[in-house]
Structure formats: C-alpha cells, structure tokens
Structure 1
Amino acid sequence: MSPQVSAAFGLLPEYLAWHVLLSAAALGLGVAISLPLAVAAARRPALRWPVLGGAGVIQTIPSLALLALFFPLLLALSALSEEVTGRGFSALGFLPALLALTLYSMLPIVRNTVTGLASLDPAVLEAADGVGMTAGQKLRLVELPLAAPVIMAGVRTAAVWTIGAATLATPVGQTSLGNYIFAGLQTENWVFVLFGCAASAALALAADQLLGLIERGTARRSRALVIGGAAGLAAGVLLALLPLAAFGGPASYVVGAKNFSEQYILAELMAEKLEASGAQVRRKEDLGSAIAYRALASGEIDAYVDYSGTLWANVLGRNDNPGREQVLAELTRELKARDGVLVLGSLGFENAYALAMRQDRAQALGIASIADLSAHAPQLVMGADLEFFSRPEWKAVESAYGLRFRAQRTFQPTFMYRALARDADVISAFSSDGRIAADRLVVLTDPKGALPPYDAVILVSPKRAGDQRLLAALRPLIGKIPVEAMREANYSVDRDADKATPAQAAAALAQKLGL
C-alpha cells in the first residue's frame, strides 16, 4: 500500500465520524423544521409561496458562501453573548456548518411534503371528516401516512445534498471528508482527492439506500422495511461516531492553518512541537485569511502562522510600506493593543507576493520588473490565487504601476503555476514556493516598493498570550527557518513525483534545522 493511501485510511475514522455527525444533525434538524412549515403551507395557501420561495432562495445561494456567511454572524453573536452573560460560544467549525447545512436541506423536504399533502384524494379526506376525526387526528392517521412515500423521497434527496455539501465545511473549520479534497487539491495529492470523493459518494449512497427502505416500507405499509431501514441508519451513525469517543476530551491546543502547502507544513511543525511537550493538539486547516485571523482573535484557535504584509493590509488596512522592521514592530504593537493578539516573532523567512513569469516569455518581451510589465500588460493575461485580486496589495500594485491586463483569471494556488504553460502570462507567485526555482520562473522586481514585506510570523490568541507551555514550545522556531529550507520543504509536498505529506515535510524540516 502506498504511503498516500495508507495516510488516507489513517485519517478516515476521524473525518468520517465528523462528516456523519454533521450530516445527520443537519438532516435531523432540517426535517424537524421543514415538516411543520410544510404542513402549515399545505393547509394555508397564503403561506405556500413564501415558504417554498424562501426555501428556494436559500438553495440558490452557493453552499460554500452560505457556510462562510454564518461565521461572522455567529462570531458577532458570540461576542454579544459574552458581553451580556459572560459566556460566549464557538463560532468556528460545527455550529456554522450545522446551521448552513440545515437551511440547505430544507427545500426538497418542504416541497415534497407540500406536494404530498396537496395531492391527496379529497374523497379520503372527506371520509376522515365524516367519521369525526379532529384536524390533528386526520393529519397523524390519514394525511401523513398517505403522503409519507412522497415525503421520504424528499428526505432522500435532502440527505444526498447534505452529505455532499458537508464536504465544503472544511474552510469554516469543521473537520469532514472535505479535508481530503481541499488538502489534496492544494498539494496535488490526487489520492486524497479521489479518496474524499469516493468516501463521500459511498456515504451518500448508503444513506440513500437505507432511507429508500423506509420509503418503500411506507408505500407498502410494511413495518419490517421501515424498522429495518431506521435500524440500519441508527447502527451506521453509531458505528461511524465511535472513533470520536477515542479522541477523548477537548484538545489542549488548536493550531490553525490556511489552505496551501506551506501552511500545512508549518501547522504540523508547531503541532509536533506542542505534542512533544505532552500537549494534546487539534489541527484546523484550510481556513481563509480573514476567517483564520478572526478565529485567532476570538480564541477559536490558539496559534497559526500569518504574514506581515497580509496583516498589514488586510487587518490594519494599511497601504504604505515603511520597511520590514517598522512593519513588524507596528504590527506587534497594534495587534496587541487592538485585539490582544501576540505576535511571537518571525520564523526567519519571507513568503512575499511577487509577480512571476516564465523565463523565456520574460526574456522575449524584455521584462525584468513590474515597471517593464506595465507597458506590455494590455496584451497579457494575469493569473492569481483566489484572494489576490480582492486584496489591498493588488490595488496598491495596480495603482502604482498603472497595470491594465487584457484579462485577469483566478486559480487555486496549485493550478496557478501550471497556468503559465498556456492560460496566463504572469502570476501572483509566492517567494518561498519551491516551484519558482523548479519551473525556472523569473520574479519581477518591485522598484516602487508597492508590495509590503511578508515575514512569516507566529500569532498567538489573546487567551494563550500568557500560556508558558505554548510559548516555550513555539519560541525555538523563531528566526530558525531560512527561506531556502522552507522552499525545499514546500517543494517536497508540491512536486509531481515522490510527494511527501505535510507531516513528513515538517519532520524533515525539523531534522534538517535541528528543531
């Protein structure tokens, strides 16, 4: 068995358990909310359009966007709760994912329930009235049993949708089978991508078949089929959740990471240092830049690596460039004063945004700097990662050099480098990426200093700023990682053949640097 397959199977119990718990909870809550709404809509035509329309509108929102929108909302509510009652709640991970997926599950349940109840034979309903049934008795003994097959068809659809959409919960900090897919896409680990897709599909098919037994049982009035399907679902959920008990209580520390190779490696390095001290550590990976910092400031995660330029522009809203030392000094002071966040220090290397081109293309056009690029930009295509064009850094570069490209395209960071082969002329590369040297790319100089410095820094949450165990474990990393070593570690994960896992790359980096 290959190391990648072995690693995938090793992660399966935890990922599957969380995926099942999230999906089952969202579907159960969706059914509990949707059925009463649908019954009310079926009995009151004036409610039908608002209920169905509202559920339909929610369905048109991309599921990833719906998941992301709940994080800042819950974060604000948590802060309000803490201010009023002295206690907040977790806004990262399970709760935003649960609420978003619950809403996402409602449309097929509501629609099928309304359809099933509205299409019942009027003669049957009149007969129920004729024998003196109350409205509640008629609903419970006649309407719902007759409409049950149609309702169950909606529940089956909702279950498949929910299980599939739950893979998108990873960016808001919720562990799921989507961890395979997001990490695999970033590191070009196609074994992980296929494994995550296959596991999610198998889970959806299993749930659909068991719910199908219940649907057939309701159609045939077969108690055995209904009980068999329900028992199968209950047993499957319980078996899937067993691994969560093995993880014991909550982790001592939570280490965060954004969604690219370097972040995975550094998160592993920090986690391993903490684990070596005897601490229990949980990883929260694939977080967006804004979510990662907000999660840290609110105490949802305890530490992660960010970059001084990102914090300077995105968190402090600055667009000037006073130099590396002053940026780091002001960041340390401002983040502590504003949010209580501790900047522990720089790891010793910079991972700067930089514009890069293929060497042959740059030489043919005579481009060595961004200033040279501006004259050719109207004939060129600019490629960037998913965040770059919306970031203040891009606006600063665009304004400073008057850049106007023929087209701008966004890519996952992994595919962005490959885009230089035919889909882009220039990309927003990362200076610590090993693929710059491996692909012989030219990094364009920035004579106007439009881009700020991007020192990799360890951030510690306010609640851990005085935690001596955490600080003692992480301080030995400060100033100890040269950019050459980081490039080598990154490339070991990103290269096409003989890929290392982030954990293997972190272990090799620690051994090489004596960490």
Structure 2
Amino acid sequence: MTSEASAWTAAWRLLPEYVSEHVVLSACALALGLLISLPLTVLAVRCPRVRWPVLAFASVIQTIPSLALLALFYPLLLALSALTQKLWGTSFSALGFLPSLLALTLYSMLPIIRNGVTAIVNLPAPIVEAARGVGMTDAQRLWRIELPLATPMLMAGVRTAAVWVIGAATLSTPVGQTSLGNYIFSGLQVENWVSVLFGCLAAALLALIVDQLLGLIESGTARRSPLRIVLGVSILVVGFAFAALPRIGGSATAYVIGAKNFSEQYILADLIAQRLGQAGHASTQKTGLGSVIAFRALSRDELDVYVDYSGTLWANVMRRTDTPAREVVLKELTVWLEREHGIALLGSLGFENAYALAMRRDRAEALGIRTIDDLARQAGALQMGSDLEFFERPEWQALQTAYGLTFAGRRQFQPTFMYKAVRDGEVDVISAFSSDGRIAADNLIVLEDPRQAILPYDAVVLLSPRRAKDPALHHALASLIGAVDIESMREANLEVDREVGKIPPAEAATRLDSRLRNATLSP
C-alpha cells in the first residue's frame, strides 16, 4: 500500500470518533450560545442603555483570536477547579471539553445578538404602533409580533454562528479536546497533507450540511411551513443523537494517553496505546498538548500516562536552574514528582531527546563553526530559528547566560517548518531535537555544548496520581523501560517526518514496536 493510500485509510478510520466529538462540542456551544444570546437580545432591544455594552462585549470577543480564547480558558478553569476543591472538596476537568465549550459559546454570540437586535429595532413602526394600539403588553408584543417577524433574520445569525463555531472548533485540539482539528494539527506537524486536507474537507462539509439544515428551518419560518421546520429540526436532532452515542457508550475505564505537539510524541502515544491494547486494555488519546498543559492534566488525573523529558520537568516544572548529571536529575525528579504531585516516574525509555543547536553542515563549515562558543562569536550576523516555545523556555535563558548569544534576527516555526527553514537557508541555526531523524537526513551538524548549558533530556514515562500504583498499567508498559534506543527512535521519527514515503505515526509505532520486540528476542 502506498503512503498516500495508507494516509487516507488512517484518516477514514479516525473519522467517526473525530466527527462525533466535533458535532457534540459544536452543537452544545451553539445551543448554549442561543440560551445566552436570546435573552441578551431582548434586553438590548428593551433597554437602549445596555444595547451598546452588550454589542460591544460580543464584538470584542470576536477580536480575540479563537485559539487564544480557547487557551485562556484553560488556566481560568484550572484556578476555578482548584478553588472548588478547596471550598467544597470537589473539582472538575479543566482540560478538553469545558474550556472549548465556553470559548466557542462566546464566539457564537455576536451574529445572533446583532441580527436579532437589528431585526427587532428595524421593524416597521406602524406594525409596532398597531400592536400597542390594540392593548398588547410588552411580552405579548415580543412573542406575537416582534420575534415571529424577526425570526428569519435571527435564523440568518444562527446560521452564521453555526459556521463560525464549527470552524473554530477545529482549534480546540491544543487544549485537549478531540475534534476534526486533530487531523489538521497532527497533519501539519508531520507534513501529512492528506490528513490536513481530510480535516479541512470534513469540517467544511459538516459546516455546509448544518448551514443547509438551518437554512431549511429559516425558510420554514419565513414561509410559515411547519413541515420544513420539523424536517430541519428532526435531522439536526437525529444527527446530534448519533454523534453523542459513542460518548454515552464509551469505556469509562479506558486509559487516557497524552501527547505533546510533535512527531515523536504522536509515535510514543501510539506505541503506548498498542502495548495497552496487546495487554487487553482500552485507551484513548489526547494529543497536540503544550508542555505545561500536559503536565497539569496528568497531575489532576485528566491524563493517565504520557511521555515527558527530564530536562523539561527539571527546568519548567521544578524551576531548577542548575545542570547536574543525568543520574542526579532522574533520581531527584522521581522523588520530587512523587512527593509534590503523587506522580510516578515509571522510568526512562532509554533515549534522550535534548535541545541542540544545529546548522546545515556546509554553512557551519564555511563559517568555521563547530561549537556554541564559535557560534556566539558570529551570532550577530546570523538568523536563529526555533520551535514555537523555545525562546520562552529556561533552556534558551541558560544558553544566553552561558554563551551570550545575540542573533541578528529570530523566527519561530512549527518544528516541521523549522527544519525546512534551515535546510532552505532562511535561517542559519535552529533549536533542533537530538532524537530527530531529520538531523542526518538534512545533513545538519549539531554544535557542541562545551559549557554544558543544556540539561539532559531523557524520555520518561509518567503516570498520574490515580494510576501511580496501577499494576495493569505498570505491567503493560514495563517492557518499554530502557528498551528504546536513540537509533530506533530516530528511525521512527524519520519514517513520519521524511518528505517521500512517509507513514502515519501509528504505523511508525507498529514498526518501532516490532523492532523493539525483535531486539529483545535476539541473543
């Protein structure tokens, strides 16, 4: 099977889950948006003084990028959950559905409120005066005259809101909500354009179907046709019921596997899922998470297991600024995680994925750069590229402190495009990853770190507090500890990241699993 055919097959296999989650999220957000927006619309019509503040608030929400709005709700809900735990001894999940629901609800409000207010305020004056003349109260006038006449325009606002919500819901992946955006985010990361195209087409088709069904309801209200209204509502309700069914029937005992937003993490999440499946355990995945979100979710039992890196935990979570030996980092990290968070560090997988500064070999040789010290002397004339979070991480601060790095310019990319940028000469040096197969494939050279400013980054398996002593989980994953060598991981990463003949992360995980088992059986 060709890589393209394999990608299409993998995309189709994931479609029911992704569509189900996307439909439920979008429908709930739109419904909640309607429940909030309709009373606000009536209030804005009846009280001109609050009309401007209501419309201004809804308009301001639209100026905030939807991805930022989704991300901002996570720490807010996290703090609120901690407060409810402290006050009443109960908490709720701040990951995934809830922050996505609230953000998308706010995003849906503007077209509903604006269309509703405009429609009612601009009703012909003689009609309104006639209603008053026959003695109708404000409530009677609203329900019998104003809302029926405004319904077609109000429905147009609902249609606009539905399309916006369905589109913006694809951005909920980074906060842990499964959606059609999973196709897009993972596809962009591993350059699986089939996955990106599939996600875009699926989201567009879903938006088109919902818009047409809402249009059927809109035309039914305009033509006073109950049949059209009932037909449109019925199809929407049945569609939502089918989408919600997998959530109702889902396994409550399934392990939840987390993954960050790059190729290696997708592969390792699939590897863990396969090992759990082989042991007879169900699992689900929440992928595309940021480092801080993943750790916080694990510490709150919203994830059960994921792979992190010792250097990331040491610097970002423990807030340590020293750079001790690898053994010291792992030992102290294990004790601290258990003591402070109840998290179990099951062990190191056996390889390191450290940050490293890398250059194209011919460029480095032309400039005579072999070490970061050499780089520092010429950095003022060079361009630096990094992933989306490197310049905000303690590792970058440590490198600046140790070497005094100051570049002519800095640019940030998704990791896939970062490697393209250095290969094509758009930047001179990048913050590469030591286990990335593209270092060799793109003929890059990793600069030596003589001052040892960069921490060790052993890939470690973390278990949540509630799973820290789970014997089934320990047994299923024990054979992975110390079994994944750097060459095997680089090969798996390259299989996903290379431009020609690439394979999906799940297939790369299967091949990696096979290599690990063969290595175990070899004398």
Normalising by the residue count of structure 2, what TM-score does the alignment of the two structures yield?
0.96
Q: Tell me what 1:333 maps to.
A: 335
What amino acid is aligned across from residue 338 of structure 1 in structure 2? E
Residue of structure 2 aligned with 1:467, choices 463, 467, 470: 470
Give the secondary-structure state (helix, strand or coil) at the position aligned to 2:288: coil
Structure 1 Cα separation of the partners of residues 239 and 36 of structure 2: 24
Structure 1 Cα separation of the partners of residues 83 and 271 of structure 2: 35
Residue of structure 2 aligned with 1:476, choices 476, 479, 482: 479
Q: Tell me what 2:13 maps to.
A: 10
Segment drifting more, 382-391 vs 132-141: 132-141
Please list the CA deviations of residues 430-472 of structure 1 after superposition, one character each: whole Å capped at 9, or x if unmatched.
0000000111100001111111110100111111111111112
Residue of structure 2 aligned with 1:425, choices 424, 428, 453: 428
Q: Tell me what 2:37 maps to.
A: 34
- What displacement does 1:370 show? 0.8
Structure 2 Cα separation of the partners of residues 392 and 205 of structure 1: 45
Residue of structure 2 aligned with 1:391, choices 390, 393, 405: 393
Q: Tell me what 1:138 maps to.
A: 141
What amino acid is aligned across from residue 434 of structure 1 in structure 2? G
What amino acid is aligned across from residue 412 of structure 2 in structure 1? T
Structure 1 Cα separation of the partners of residues 352 and 263 of structure 2: 15
Q: Tell me what 1:409 maps to.
A: 411
What amino acid is aligned across from residue 291 of structure 1 in structure 2? I
Q: Tell me what 1:316 maps to.
A: 318
- What displacement does 1:320 show? 1.5
Query: Which runs of structure 1 show a deviation greater than 3 angstroms over 4 or more consecutive aligned residues?
Result: 239-245
Structure 2 Cα separation of the partners of residues 111 and 159 of structure 1: 15
Structure 1 Cα separation of the partners of residues 321 and 488 of structure 2: 30
Q: Tell me what 2:49 maps to.
A: 46
Residue of structure 2 aligned with 1:360, choices 343, 362, 384: 362
Q: Within 5 Å, which residues of 2 pair with 1:340-355?
A: 340-355=342-357
Q: Tell me what 1:73 maps to.
A: 76
Structure 1 Cα separation of the partners of residues 81 and 277 of structure 2: 30
Give the secondary-structure state (helix, strand or coil) at the position aligned to 2:55: helix
1:276 aligns with 2:283: no
Conserved in 2, the CA contact under 8 Å of 1:251 and 1:282? no
Q: Tell me what 1:449 maps to.
A: 452
Question: Percent identity, aligned pairs only?
Answer: 63
Q: Within 5 Å, which residues of 2 pair with 1:100-115?
A: 100-115=103-118
- What displacement does 1:249 show? 2.9
Structure 2 Cα separation of the partners of residues 489 and 323 of structure 1: 28
Q: Tell me what 1:55 maps to.
A: 58
Q: Tell me what 1:126 maps to.
A: 129
Residue of structure 1 aligned with 2:267, choices 248, 258, 265: 265
- What displacement does 1:242 show? 4.2
Residue of structure 1 aligned with 2:233, choices 223, 230, 234: 230
Structure 1 Cα separation of the partners of residues 421 and 431 of structure 2: 11
Please list the CA deviations of residues 411-431 of structure 1 after superposition, one character each: whole Å capped at 9, or x if unmatched.
011111000113111110000
Q: Tell me what 1:189 maps to.
A: 192
Segment drifting more, 328-337 vs 406-415: 328-337
- What displacement does 1:165 show? 0.4
Please list the CA deviations of residues 8-28 of structure 1 after superposition, one character each: whole Å capped at 9, or x if unmatched.
111101100110000000000
Structure 2 Cα separation of the partners of residues 410 and 248 of structure 1: 39
Give the secondary-structure state (helix, strand or coil) at the position aligned to 2:462: strand
Number of positions where the alignment pairs a residue of Structure 1 with one of Structure 2: 514
Q: Tell me what 2:373 maps to.
A: 371
Q: Tell me what 1:179 maps to.
A: 182
Structure 1 Cα separation of the partners of residues 300 and 399 of structure 2: 32
Please list the CA deviations of residues 458-508 of structure 1 after superposition, one character each: whole Å capped at 9, or x if unmatched.
111111111111112112211111101100011111111222221211111
Structure 1 Cα separation of the partners of residues 416 and 143 of structure 2: 55
Conserved in 2, the CA contact under 8 Å of 1:378 and 1:404? yes
Please list the CA deviations of residues 216-273 of structure 1 after superposition, one character each: whole Å capped at 9, or x if unmatched.
222233323222322232233234444445x533243111100111101111111222
1:509 aligns with 2:518: no
1:307 aligns with 2:302: no
Please, what is the CA RMSD of the aligned residues? Answer: 1.3
User: Any gaps of 5 or more consecutive residues in structure 1?
Assistant: none
Structure 2 Cα separation of the partners of residues 340 and 243 of structure 1: 32
What amino acid is aligned across from residue 368 of structure 1 in structure 2? R
What amino acid is aligned across from residue 285 of structure 2 in structure 1? R
Conserved in 2, the CA contact under 8 Å of 1:186 and 1:261? yes
What amino acid is aligned across from residue 470 of structure 1 in structure 2? L
Give the secondary-structure state (helix, strand or coil) at the position aligned to 1:450: coil
Please list the CA deviations of residues 292-342 of structure 1 after superposition, one character each: whole Å capped at 9, or x if unmatched.
000001110011000011111111112220121111111112122111111
Structure 1 Cα separation of the partners of residues 24 and 185 of structure 2: 20
What amino acid is aligned across from residue 35 of structure 1 in structure 2? L
Q: Within 5 Å, which residues of 2 pair with 1:196-235?
A: 196-235=199-238
Segment drifting more, 474-483 vs 186-195: 474-483
- What displacement does 1:185 show? 0.7
Give the secondary-structure state (helix, strand or coil) at the position aligned to 1:154: helix
Conserved in 2, the CA contact under 8 Å of 1:187 and 1:260? yes
Structure 1 Cα separation of the partners of residues 51 and 456 of structure 2: 56
Conserved in 2, the CA contact under 8 Å of 1:182 and 1:193? yes
- What displacement does 1:87 show? 2.5
Distance 1:265 1:228, change over 3 A: same
Structure 1 Cα separation of the partners of residues 143 and 90 of structure 2: 41
Structure 1 Cα separation of the partners of residues 107 and 76 of structure 2: 17
Q: Tell me what 2:168 maps to.
A: 165
Structure 1 Cα separation of the partners of residues 146 and 401 of structure 2: 65
Structure 2 Cα separation of the partners of residues 200 and 86 of structure 1: 40
What amino acid is aligned across from residue 188 of structure 1 in structure 2? E
Q: Tell me what 1:86 maps to.
A: 89
What amino acid is aligned across from residue 364 of structure 2 in structure 1? A
Conserved in 2, the CA contact under 8 Å of 1:354 and 1:428? yes
1:490 aligns with 2:493: yes
Structure 1 Cα separation of the partners of residues 512 and 17 of structure 2: 27
- What displacement does 1:79 show? 2.4
